[in-house]
Amino acid sequence: MNRSVSLSRSPDALRPVWVLMAFSVVALRGQVPQIPNASEFTGTLEVTVKEHGSFSSFGITEEYTFDLSIKGQLKLDELRAGPVWSGKYDATVAFSAAFTTTFPQATCTLAQSYNGPLAAAGFGNVFELEVSNNTYILSPRSPLFFSDAKFTGTCQSPAERGQIVWWPFRHGGTPWLQGSTFQFTLPPAGQNYKGQSDVKIPGPGFGVIPTAPVTFYTYTVKWDLKPDEIEVVIDPEGYDQWRPEAGSNEDTIGNTINVKVKLQKTDGSTPKAEATKFKFELIETSKEPGIAMNYPLAAKAQKTHDLQISPLNNNTQRLDIKDFEGQNAETRGPPLREYTFTISSFDWGGWSKLKVTAVVTGLPPIVGYLKGDKSMKEVRLPKRAANSMIAEAWMKGQGGNKPDDDDSEKDPFGQSGCDGDGLTLYQEYRGFIENGTHIEGNTQKKDFFILNLIGADAEAGLWLFTVISGLEVHKDLTEAEFSPQDRLINGNFDKGPRRKDQHGVFMITDEAVDGAVTNFTQSGVAGRPGTTTGVRIQPRDLSGKSLSSPYNLRSIDQTLSYDVAIAHELLHSIGVDHHGPQDKSEEFELVHVDDPANTQGRPYFLLKGSQVELIDEKTGQDRAALFDQTYEAIKQTFAGDPQAWAFIQPLMKNYPFKIGEKGYEHSGDDSCVMRYFFASIYLADGMPNRYYWVPPGTEPLGFSICDVAKGTGVNGPRTPQPRYGDANLGKCRSQMCPNDAVPPVKR
């Protein structure tokens, strides 16, 4: 600064230099500074100087005082690229300065003061805050001008009074600073931009001593600016209860969820800033084939995104959908602060994450968060736990919080170690299509699926199987929903949790079958749906077949044996075996009285060449005599037709009988559907050559499933004895296992 020997110095010789510095703030450990998503900054700014001093030389003494106080509110509410915020400083200035120069013969004084608003300085109260990388600069945009400054004193000045200029940081392009910088570290996110800094600035010299040292004044600068940050709030309508649904196929929308996004200040108020666009991204969207676990059939199921931003229910004039399957979209048109768009569901078990980004001029991209949960920047759709694909509302409705891969149903009780039905919780949630209608699996009971190709004739048997097994039976599947070729019930899978291929069972009428039969891919082990290639049953009323024969059933039971056979075969498919080894049929030879080889004078039976007794269980009569009476009656009928009698007579000699043995198929609880009822005779206890004849109408038909091996009813204590005794296997309920993930036990 040049010094003049003239006493007539311009008043701007008293000018203070305006300096505004930012204080370096060290980021807290674990927190990373970042450019704020602020629409404006508000706070306080204060500059103070209080300097007093003197010096003398050559008999001349100079004394000075310099007091400055500027305090007020700073509001930076204009945002532009950079990012740079600018705005006005509404402050009050209190300023006074005085110089006294004492010469040997005279004294000269000059004083200046100002008290009033900074706004009187005109455009000089505009400030800027610029952020770049991890630093920021706070500075006035232009010099500060005061008007109406009051001057007093005895010195004369030719300069125009009433105006004083305060330069900001630079004078003539050169900083008036010592060892200072204008860039300072950003504070951690969410913290104020605040600090205090002392800066030494060359002060105004006065008078007549050309060798006097330069005087430096200490400007103390304090600032405390709060970033008025903006955010994007994502508000899906009905989020707590929404779960995805599907239409009739992969191309049909099932249901939708409207999502409102809003640009706002963190206190919820409306910001001055607007978004030039909102960007919407669906992330990690599922692509489970089909719309449910079994539909369409796996061979036909499409693998497309299950949740989409579809043009079918969005305004494409306002929303630009960027890809074919609606995973990316952005708004177009004038700037806005809020927008509502629609996400469509095409699957009963779909999931995704929604990310919303607002583009605001001058700011980094602003990623939205779920309303009520600032930590969730990628909103899980549907609302669900972080490690789950299942809607929270559905999960709560099932009364538990099990993992998605859970398969632990214990109802109904069955084989030890065979919990579950082979279907994970997620698969039961996603559900199935049965007769054109979406159904869910029963999370409390084991599910079992049947394709009934027999029709109405099988309904009663299916009902019986459902009741006695206790399973959740789904019996109304169509061939579009269940393939007899692969028999899969959970064939549509990609990333949804699963255990193994789970199968259903199909039933079909087959005229070549005598009775009913269940076919398996494996022998020597218990049945499973996965090893059951089909249940084949004769037509209900086809004559000459087992299920059309009365055997020794009561007449009322004869009409129900077909229904019992259906339940019986279906139980085979889930691991239930007969009560024991297979009973055999043996051919008994009746030796009539007129037989030349008969030397006893009475009819009797031979079994494999040995004479045996066949005693009526009820009357104690010898059945050989009764059979012989029938023989004699028929013989008399054809007495006049020797040729016909010669044809008929051999047919009345050999009689096949089903023999029920102890512990075999006819044994055990006689009310169980797994017990056979075909036996005609059984062996007398302790008498290897005596058999008891089962009177017609006395063999019971079972309508339940047994829990014990103990013989009951005709197999329990009775006269003359238990027919078939305790079961070798029995306990049929404890054999049930519809779960293909559980290896079958050996038989």
Over the stretch 203-228, which tens digit does the pLDDT of each residue have? 654 444 444 556 677 878 899 999 99
Instruction: Check whether residue 306 and residue 354 sit in a common domain.
Output: yes
Instruction: Check whether residue 561 and residue 589 sit in a common domain.
Output: no
- Asked if residue 321 has pLDDT above 80, the reply is yes
Averaged over 631-648, what is the pLDDT?
Answer: 90
Which residue, of 547, 573, 599, is where some domain finishes?
573
Instruction: Check whether residue 723 and residue 698 sit in a common domain.
Output: yes
- pLDDT tier at 591, thresholds 50, 70, 90: very high
pLDDT for position 155: 62
Cα 656 from Cα 634, distance rounded (Å): 20
Residue (of 124, 158, 136) closest to 12 by Cα position: 158
- In this structure, of 198-207, 226-235, 261-270, 620-629, the range with the lowest mean pLDDT score is 198-207
Q: Is residue 595 a part of any domain in this protein? A: yes
Instruction: Check whether residue 562 and residue 598 sit in a common domain.
Output: no
- In this structure, of 56-60, 382-386, 445-449, the range with the lowest mean pLDDT score is 56-60
pLDDT for position 133: 77
Cα 407 from Cα 427, distance rounded (Å): 10
Q: What is the pLDDT of residues 19-72, one digit of tens each?
A: 333 333 333 333 456 788 898 999 999 988 898 888 777 778 888 888 888 899
- pLDDT tier at 151, thresholds 50, 70, 90: low
Averaged over 684-712, what is the pLDDT?
Answer: 96
Q: Is residue 741 a part of any domain in this protein? A: no
pLDDT for position 391: 97
Instruction: Check whether residue 218 and residue 335 sit in a common domain.
Output: no
Averaged over 285-303, what is the pLDDT?
Answer: 97
Instruction: Check whether residue 318 and residue 463 sit in a common domain.
Output: no
Q: Is residue 644 a part of any domain in this protein? A: yes
Averaged over 651-663, what is the pLDDT?
Answer: 94
Which residue, of 540, 573, 606, is where some domain finishes?
573
Instruction: Check whether residue 243 and residue 158 sit in a common domain.
Output: no
- Asked if residue 372 has pLDDT above 60, the reply is yes
Sign of the C-alpha dihedral computed for residues 318, 323, 325 and 330 taken in this order: negative
Average pLDDT, the chain: 87
| pTM of the predicted protein model | 0.83
- Asked if residue 663 has pLDDT above 70, the reply is yes
Which residue, of 207, 229, 251, is where some domain finishes?
229
- In this structure, of 67-71, 201-205, 257-261, 571-575, the range with the lowest mean pLDDT score is 201-205
Q: Is residue 736 a part of any domain in this protein? A: no
Instruction: Check whether residue 116 and residue 185 sit in a common domain.
Output: yes
Averaged over 366-383, what is the pLDDT?
Answer: 97
- Asked if residue 11 has pLDDT above 60, the reply is no
CATH number, domain containing residue 318? 2.60.40
Instruction: Check whether residue 376 and residue 407 sit in a common domain.
Output: no
What proportion of the chain, given as a percentage, has pLDDT over 70?
A: 87
Cα 108 from Cα 202, distance rounded (Å): 23
Instruction: Give the domain range for residue 39.
Output: 11-229
- In this structure, of 173-187, 334-348, 732-746, the range with the lowest mean pLDDT score is 173-187
pLDDT for position 400: 78
567 within 8 A of 576, measured Cβ to Cβ: no
Q: Is residue 6 a part of any domain in this protein? A: no
pLDDT for position 214: 62
Q: How far apart are the two ends of the chain, measured CA to CA in Å?
A: 110
pLDDT for position 205: 45
Q: Is residue 618 a part of any domain in this protein? A: yes
Q: Is residue 646 a part of any domain in this protein? A: yes
284 within 8 A of 352, measured Cβ to Cβ: yes
Averaged over 369-380, what is the pLDDT?
Answer: 97
Instruction: Check whether residue 551 and residue 647 sit in a common domain.
Output: no
Instruction: Check whether residue 645 and residue 721 sit in a common domain.
Output: yes
Instruction: Check whether residue 696 and residue 611 sit in a common domain.
Output: yes
Residue (of 364, 173, 356) closest to 282 by Cα position: 356
Q: Answer with the residue of higher pLDDT: 343 or 32.
A: 343
- Asked if residue 145 has pLDDT above 60, the reply is no
pLDDT for position 176: 40
Can you give the C-alpha Rg of the chain in angstroms? 50
Number of domains into which the chain is organized: 4
Q: Is residue 2 a part of any domain in this protein? A: no
